[in-house]
Chain A
């Protein structure tokens, strides 16, 4: 258990070490009391990284889906998958990294605006297919969804105007289905 990345298990976006890769792991768990704690606690106890973690209900009411973005070398990732699988409440663990998958993140961002900058903000919003969801004399709130890179990009574009507040969901992901031979 040689892994002692400085970011520990807190939800940080630490830079992966050279041999480390970012992995997106999808998890189906029993919707039991304490199941979430068990998984978060596992990452804390073993010193694994969490880059992002989302949890929500699924089409079956007894099952929750978690999407965990983590990083580590191959041995650590193998251990993470095995340890997650070992938990009694875990029904299925899929490392999506090596499969085609769709990932999305949502961000709400409140940007400072004046009458002179509002139009430019709206333009940026359109380019990213974001939506204006709230507006006030001094601010505009945008809602954007997309991959982590896209969300990063819109935030970067909005930074010069002054970001008042920002909320990101973290990543959700689903495996793509087979499309047939092309």
Chain B
């Protein structure tokens, strides 16, 4: 849908707050709003009734609206917008806001509020949402005067989308939305306390280049900042110029094509064996748009101890927060990478790359091949059949890690997941947002049977709009990741992880969604092909997989590379690996 700007004649007219609000969204180029009406926003919904530039998507729960906005933002790079009522409408957005905050996703949430003079009186559907969301938003506002409305909206979008992106909430009291004033939309923003740095400090970039020039075993450690900065191209140029191997975080997946020989896939708790070992052996670690999260580092004192560290990030507070670095560069990744690439020369990494290639052959990602259907097989088949060109939205748990490991990511913005907060129930509503943002590519939602049940109500929204989403439910009848931890670290005492579910095929059909069930490995490819060729609306496939299977490799929480557990299953001869070394405990040092 193409947005048309407000006609000039709208400017300078007397309007109500509600009309101004809607006009302001049009000015910001907002095309889709995910929302849910209610008493405190009824005036805004009245103003929305006449607007054709903005598509309003009625979700079935406000949490769904927030995740949809996140999915939209991640897939498009544009801000996602949420509109909900006061009280419970507002509090239902909290999980999605916290999720967007942890994962640096630009969304703007507009909440209704009771009238200004009622605030603090425990009025019907009143909640102090500005207070509640203060620690989980990049910034938030309460608009107490209609004359502040346009400036506040302009600032909200500016703050959400610049610097390190994040959620911004604007609380709109009902009476303010009814007050009238002249409509003038500001052209620019003046915030003296907020001036994100874009260009990296030239001296620091030079220092980084000098450090890198001495590297014998360099590694590029790449996070979601590269995707937020739209810098995948710049990253590839740098990596290839340096001949430097690349590992990505969960949110960095897609920033560097895994088909490239320099790719080592994901690192961290469930990263590849070789990326984790390479990081612990490397002598220069170049962190780009990543934040040394504990799921990446394990025990921080033991993380990449051999390495001098360069850290490029737009957020000064992310630097030296968890791990002290030698050369910090604050700035927009794209700009810094361009400057850095000019200053570096190709490195002699032939030996280093050969060592990594050998590790790859000896310790590939793998899974058990037997009569049971396995999630890894489903994901690998999806990767093959889509050639890595789909937008894949995962939930949280084992399937999420297997998707990260086995899909073979190719494109930025093709992998969408809840990383920092780890919000089960994220995938289905987020895939809806991705489908509105990116109608050209197939959108695949993957959930477990647990996570799917947390926001399955959004099937109604997806069916209403006939969004052609391929919805995969990986059903093992367990909360699999918790079960895995209980198996490995809690003496197999399976406490409340055995979860029942409705008949997913019947459930989908009840919503009016086409559905299939797959239980045999031989049916996987056909079923996925059927789903990919079905464009008329959503299709759900339930994959009934092995009840108990574990995600490997694994570095247990808070531990070091020495506790890295590789997959106990043998390396198949079909892979390049000839080694049958299994369940290795690595001893890197010495």
Contact = CB atoms under 8 A, between A and B. Distances in A.
Contact of B193 (A37, A41, A78, A87): A87
Complex A-B, nearest 5 residue pairs according to Cβ-Cβ distance, in ascending order? A82-B317, A88-B139, A91-B193, A45-B135, A88-B194
A86 B317 contact: yes
Contacts of B322: 1
A38 interface: yes
A37 B134 contact: yes
A8 to B, nearest CB: 15
B315 interface: yes
Interface string A39-53: 001100100000000
A32 B316 CA distance: 24
A78 B131 contact: no
Given A79-B321, A88-B191, A90-B193, A41 B316 contact: no
Interface of B is mostly: loop
Contacts of B316: 82, 85-86
Contacts of A34: 130-131, 134, 140, 142
Interface of A: 1, 29-30, 33-34, 37-38, 41-42, 45, 75, 78-79, 82-83, 85-91
A33 B142 contact: yes
Nearest to A93: B193
Nearest to A42: B135
A7 to B, nearest CB: 20
Nearest to B322: A1
Given A29-B193, A38-B134, A86-B315, 6 more contacts: A1-B322, A79-B321, A86-B317, A88-B191, A88-B193, A91-B192
Interface string B448-464: 00000000000000000
Interface string B302-321: 00000000000001110111
Nearest to B321: A79
Contacts of B317: 79, 82-83, 85-86
Interface string B109-152: 00000000000000000000011001100111010100000000
A78 B130 contact: no
Interface in B372-422: none
Contacts of A42: 135
A34 B315 CA distance: 23
A90 B194 CA distance: 8
Contacts of B142: 33-34
Interface in B21-50: none
A86 B101 CA distance: 14
Contacts of A1: 321-322
Contacts of A82: 316-317, 319
B97 to A, nearest CB: 15
Contacts of A86: 315-317
A88 B144 CA distance: 19
Interface of A is mostly: helix
Contacts of B194: 88
A20 to B, nearest CB: 17
B159 interface: yes
Contacts of B144: 33
A41 B144 CA distance: 22
16 contacts: A1-B321, A1-B322, A29-B193, A30-B193, A34-B131, A34-B134, A41-B134, A75-B320, A75-B324, A79-B317, A82-B316, A82-B319, A86-B317, A88-B139, A88-B194, A89-B193
A126 B402 CA distance: 76
Nearest to A46: B135
Contacts of A78: 320
A88 B138 contact: yes
B323 to A, nearest CB: 11
Nearest to B140: A34
A1 to B, nearest CB: 8
A41 B138 contact: no
A34 B191 CA distance: 16
Query: Which of B192, B193, B319, B324 counts the most chain A CB atoms within 10 A?
Result: B193
A91 B316 CA distance: 15
Interface string B51-87: 0000000000000000000000000000000000000
Contacts of A33: 142, 144
Contacts of B159: 88
A86 to B, nearest CB: 5
A38 B136 CA distance: 11
A88 B320 CA distance: 21
A76 to B, nearest CB: 11
Contacts of B191: 88
Contacts of A88: 138-139, 159, 191, 193-194
Given A30-B193, A89-B193, A91-B193, A37 B138 contact: no
Contacts of B139: 88
Nearest to A83: B317
A35 B248 CA distance: 37
A174 to B, nearest CB: 20
B223 to A, nearest CB: 18
A35 to B, nearest CB: 10
Contacts of A83: 317
Nearest to A89: B193
Interface string B166-201: 000000000000000000000000011110000000
Query: Which of B134, B140, B144 counts the most chain A CB atoms within 10 A?
Result: B134
B18 to A, nearest CB: 22
A1 B322 CA distance: 7
Contacts of B319: 82
Contacts of B193: 29-30, 87-91
Nearest to A90: B193
Contacts of B135: 41-42, 45
A85 B159 CA distance: 15
Contacts of A91: 192-193
B372 to A, nearest CB: 42
B228 to A, nearest CB: 16
